[in-house]
Structure 1
Amino acid sequence: MRRRTYLRTMALGITGFTGCIKSTGSTTQTSTANIDQGVRIKTIAMNLEVPWGADFHSNGDLYVTERPGRIRRIRPNSNDIVADITDQIAHSGEGGLLGFEFHPENDNLAYTYQTYDSQNGLRNRIVRHRINDEFERERTLLDGIPASSVHNGGRLAIYDDALYVTTGDADNKGQAQDRDSLAGKVLRLTLDGEPHPDNPFDNEVFTYGHRNPQGLAFRDGTLLSTEHGPITDDEINVLDAGNNYGWPTVTGMGDQSDEFTNPIATYTPTIAPGGATFYDGPISQWQGDFFFGTLAGQHLHRVQIENGDVVKQERLLEGEYGRLRTTFIGPDKHLYVTTSNQDGRSAAPAPQDDRVLRLQPA
């Protein structure tokens, strides 16, 4: 198992965020910064309702899910609803129409993560859609994922012909340690929905012991996740097949036993990290850095990682756009960020909210 050694806790007293950041490996410095004058922020879509999942089609169109149950296609000067499945979705608390990914080889197929009302109460499922048929369901890949009004996970990511899925503990802590449960896990499936043949437990489970993972990002074959803690200890984790990430037995940094895998960074008080990505675009000072939006923190978080250790962190856009959820890289290599100010947790959404922002060289 991947182990990290806790070296230092550094107290911070910076406007908008007071508390501690714990990181492992080497000393971490965190600062608050305004976006450099060489970076331009452009709104490419507005008047959305809780945008959650996002992916670019091979033709360059951006598709975004809205949590109540709609899929929008965003083009220059247009923002159209291309599918409305609100009657199939249970927009309950944090649940709804969440993650979204296109099939990497068949651009007529897309995947969504959905919360819905079953005969046995709320459940989550993974559905594959036919795009050219108004996003009709082609098949349900996986059903019966435990759901609740909170802690539904919901992030999808595709890498090396495998579909990765984050699931929350569905407000039932014990499920996260049960390897036969789909809750509190990161799952790995084939693109047709079967358990991946390289999974460690002969089922869908890739890693376990998670509370509510919200972001997935790959870099050179290494998978990182962001995860919501309770009152303390949001986490960045490096995910290795079969590893146990501790919840609810351990939050944040645990002991040095081999039972649990420690995060590479934790955040107290919590900032609620969302969707994550690695930057490989034209802004040279950001090359290779790990980015994620924060909901409670209301900033864009930048993390520099060297040799598996967090060495520097920076908070950008702090308080400027409110709650930020999903970050992703477009085919133009620019960094995109969605706001989440229409989710009932923002005191004062702006008239244009919710929005998709693009960060690019000025």
Structure 2
Amino acid sequence: MQRRAVTAVLAAATLLLTAGCSSDDGEDWGGGKSTSPDSSESGASAPASGQAAEETPPAKGSVKVVRTVTEGLKTPWGLAPLPEGGLLVSSRDEGTITRVDEKTGKKTELGAVPGVAPGGEGGLLGLALSPSYASDHMVYAYFTSDSDNRIVRMQYDAKRPAGEQLGAPDTVFRGIPKGTNHNGGRIAFGPDKMLYAGTGETYVTELAQDKKSTGGKILRLTPEGEPAPGNPFDSPVYSYGHRNVQGLAWDTEQRLFASEFGQDTWDELNHIKPGGNYGWPDVEGESDDSKYESPIDQWSTDEASPSGIAYAEGSVWMAGLRGKRLWRIPLKGTEESADPQAFLEGDYGRLRTVVSAGGDKLWLVTSETDGRGTPGDGDDRILELQVK
């Protein structure tokens, strides 16, 4: 494994500056490495652990902003491109889903998701479309309720009036621990048509190592919310030892990668293996202990604080909140990458979600209105990017 994030000297300096005052999304909410909320912010079974790494096509090397798709979004979080055209975007704090016409930027509210209880980093978070969307028009959403984090699905009917286009929610999975922060929230259907969900440990750090808890995990479920066939522990848990996972993406070899917030020292990009233990709270970043999986790359928390990730043109693209930049991580295999590159540093503020738009295009969602940014005219927005 190569380490390219920062030098040890810089890491030590960063630790001294941020220990006890860092939050995942990058602002001082107090606390330290305690369990208090006042501390830091898509058929067949998935590839088996130990699968031989295959050659990845040469990665394209840069990215440019093609245009601003739309502006004036409030606390956007999840993004789901529709096959018929349009982008569904969730509002964390308003609990609504809006369709954005990707050609004109016009916004149409589908409706509010019942039961959403926003607060801190919780609210209406990730979105995903059913693998059978063409026939069932089901939209899946991960949200924080009064009692837990849960996943629901709703039928989307564009023929109904604006504000009334979401059917009644059907709860697919409930009981994921909730907290002021560290609620995870990213959901995606994998190439195996199973539903994956990244969860957080809600500052109760011991949950991450407890395989009976769904906190601090990546879950793998059937579309109906049952533990997916082939899961390593005969439960919903696919991997564990996570602090707060908000990014999930697969490459062309169907390998799963996930981004993870560190505490004060290292943010991570991990290759996810069934049953893998990713170390938290015993390890942050790379470990010499073979029982823990080490990241394929790591960053100081002020450079990243990563939320969404996407795969395009041979690289994983990672949106940084506190880092206010888009990272490109060219894949060399499953256990290492070529040197990461940063783009758009400070140009659009905090970056929440990045999604493949097919081929060499990406959708990128900013996050300046989430209570930790400095919103300006037009915030928040969706951008169209081209990988060059």
* Partner in structure 2 of residue 112 of structure 1: 141
Residue 63 of structure 1 contacts residue 72 of structure 1 at CA under 8 Å; is this kept in 2? yes
Report Cα offsets for 1:89-128 as digits up to 9, x if no partner.
111100000000111213410100010103xxxx100001
| Counterpart residue identity of residue 314, structure 2 | G
1:291 to 317, 325, 341: 317
2:121 is aligned to 94
Q: In 2, are the aligned partners of 1:182 and 1:205 still within 8 Å (CA)?
A: yes
Structure 1 contact 40–361 (Cα < 8 Å) conserved: no
Aligned counterparts, 1:10-89, within 5 A: 10-11=6-7, 39-68=64-93, 69-75=95-101, 76-77=103-104, 78-85=106-113, 88-89=115-116
Identity %: 38
CA contact (8 A) 1:12 1:19 kept: no
AA aligned to 1:358 is E
Distance apart, 1:332 and its partner CA: 6.6
What are the superposed Cα offsets for residues 27-54 of structure 1, whole Å, 9 maximum, x if unpaired?
A: xxxxxxx976xx3431101100111111
Instruction: Name the aligned partner's letter for residue 164 of structure 1.
Output: Y
Counterpart residue number, 1:26:
none
User: Comparing 135-144 with 53-62, which one deviates more in the overlay?
Assistant: 135-144
Is the aligned partner of 1:205 residue 2:221? no
| Paired residue type of 1:165 | A
TM-score, length-scaled by structure 1: 0.85
Of 99-108 and 291-300, deviating more is 99-108
Tell me how far apart the structure 1 counterparts of residues 183 and 66 of structure 2 sit (CA, whole Å): 31
Taking a change above 3 Å as real, the CA distance of residues 176 and 50 of structure 1, as seen in their structure-2 partners, is same
The correspondence for 1:136, drawn from 162, 167, 171, is: 167
Looking at structure 2, the residues matched to 260 and 45 of structure 1 have their Cα atoms a distance apart, in angstroms, of 42
State the match for 1:103 in structure 2. Answer: 130
Q: In 2 relative to 1, CA 147–9 (structure 1 residues): closer, same or farther, beyond 3 Å?
A: closer
| 1:330 CA drift (Å) | 1.6
Residue deviations 1:220-244 (CA, integer Å, cap 9, x gap): 1110000000011100111000111
Given candidates 302, 305, 330, the residue that maps to 1:272 is 305
2:215 alignment partner AA = A
SS in 2 for 1:209: coil
- TM-aligned CA deviation for residue 256 of structure 1: 3.3
Q: Answer yes or no: is 1:226 the counterpart of 2:255.
A: no
Decide whether the 8 Å contact of 1:60 with 1:331 is kept in 2.
Answer: no
Paired with 1:198 and 1:361, the residues of 2 have a C-alpha distance of 36
Q: Which moved more, 1:248-257 or 1:174-183?
A: 248-257
Structure 1 distance, partners of 2:87, 2:143, is 19
Unaligned stretches of 5+ residues in structure 1: 21-33, 280-286
Q: Secondary structure at the match of 2:375?
A: coil
Relative to structure 1, the CA distance from residue 94 to residue 275 in structure 2 (aligned partners, 3 Å threshold; closer, same or farther) is same
2:225 aligns to what?
A: 193
Q: Is 1:336 aligned with 2:355?
A: no
Give the conservation status (yes or no) of the 8 Å contact 1:305–1:312. no
Change (3 A) 1:7 1:156: closer
User: 1:182 aligned to 2:207?
Assistant: no
Query: TM-score, with normalisation over the residues of structure 2?
Result: 0.79
Matches of 1:190 and 1:6 in 2, distance apart? 36
Indicate whether 1:153 and 2:181 are aligned. no
Matches within 5 A, 1:315-330: 315-330=342-357
* Alpha-carbon distance in structure 2 between the residues aligned to 1:131 and 1:203: 30
Distance 1:8 1:204, change over 3 A: same
SS of aligned partner of 2:206 = helix
With over 3 angstroms needed to count, the CA separation of the structure-2 counterparts of 1:272 and 1:336, relative to structure 1, is same
Cα displacement string for residues 106-162 of structure 1 (whole angstroms, at most 9, x for unaligned residues): 3410100010103xxxx1000011112722234101111100010001001111110
Q: Does 1:254 align with 2:278?
A: no
Compute the displacement of 1:58 (Å). Answer: 1.8
- Partners of 1:35 and 1:317 within 8 A in 2: no
Where does structure 2 lack aligned partners over 5 or more consecutive residues? 16-60, 158-163
SS of the counterpart of 2:338? strand
After superposition, the C-alpha distances for 1:315-353 in whole angstroms (9 at most, x for unaligned) are 10001100001000125751110000001111x311100
SS in 2 for 1:117: coil
Moved over 6 A (4+): none
Residues 82 and 237 of structure 1, relative CA distance in 2, 3 Å threshold: same
* Alignment CA distance shift 1:8-1:294 (3 Å): closer
Aligned residue in 2 for 1:30: none
Residue 152 (structure 2) pairs with residue 127 (structure 1): yes
The answer to whether the 8 Å contact 1:217/1:278 transfers is yes
Cα contact 1:156–1:165 (8 A) shared by 2: yes
Equivalent residue of 2:327, what SS?
strand
Cα gap change, 1:40 to 1:179, in 2 (>3 Å): closer
Which secondary structure state, in structure 1, belongs to the residue aligned with residue 293 of structure 2? coil
Q: 2:196 aligns with which of 164, 179, 187?
A: 164
Matched to 1:95, the amino acid is G
